[in-house]
Amino acid sequence: MPKVKIARKSTWVDMTAFVDVSFLILTFFILATKFKPDEPVEVKFPNSVSADKVPETDAFLVTIDKEGRVFVQLDDPKKRKAIADNLNSTRSLGLSPENIKAFTNAPSVGVPFSGLKGLLSLSSEQQKNVKQPGIPVPDSTGGELYYWVRDAMSVYAGSKVTWLIKADNETKYPVIRNVLEAFKRNDINKFQLVTKFQDAPVGSPLWNTRQTQQQAK
């Protein structure tokens, strides 16, 4: 009995739909991704075994470098504009609409009130080349940082805000104490310190808890 030969046919799959879906997914992630803003200064912060994640929204961050320079950073452009408007009115900064718009696009600031207009008059590229002296916190009054925190409280009134402090390992304690005083004078007694994650020591209660949680997953 002769063998039946099965005709060989080429396999062809229409990939058009797959390519369309791939580009739609790629476009979604490009538009939805929130890019991390430029850091005002390089800070080598201490290690911590805490597992709490730093919030990406509704946060007011104070950064202190090893030289003791203080910067403020806000994630929401609308909140930045509101704070700029408040400070411009209450501190008579003389900021123009263009300056306020520039501040809205600048995620971090570290200059005295007297130098804010000059900084914001520069282009964004020129601002990157300026070594900002830091917001003054010269003594236990909290200095000008007190007003930044005060106006941030006003802008965030009625909504949840996370107060963050990120300090370099080499930052002198008096600077940190004065920053804390600016918070205290505004009745802010709850805040988070930004640290570098470090696993808990093996055998410690926290280590045992994390092992149990991982095994349960």
Question: Has residue 17 been placed in a domain?
Answer: no
What is the per-residue pLDDT for 105? 87
- Mapped onto helix, strand or coil, the DSSP state of residue 196 is strand
d(CA 165, CA 183): 10
Please report the pLDDT score of residue 140 as a whole number: 78
In a domain, 177, yes or no: yes
38 in any annotated domain: no
**pLDDT recorded at residue 49:** 47
Is residue 101, in this structure, part of any structural domain at all? yes
Segments of the chain with pLDDT less than 50: 35, 48-49, 200
Confidence (pTM): 0.71
Residue 108 lies in a domain: yes
Domain containing 130: what range?
A: 55-197
Query: Does residue 193 fall inside a structural domain?
Result: yes
- Encoding tokens for residue 106? 């600048």
pLDDT in tens, 166-210: 888 888 889 999 999 999 999 999 888 876 655 545 556 655 665
Residue 141 lies in a domain: yes
Element (H, E) at 145: helix 145-155
Q: CA-CA distance, 80 to 107, in Å (whole number)?
A: 8
Please tell me the total count of domains within the chain: 1
Q: Is residue 61 part of a domain?
A: yes
Please give the pLDDT value at position 159. Answer: 86
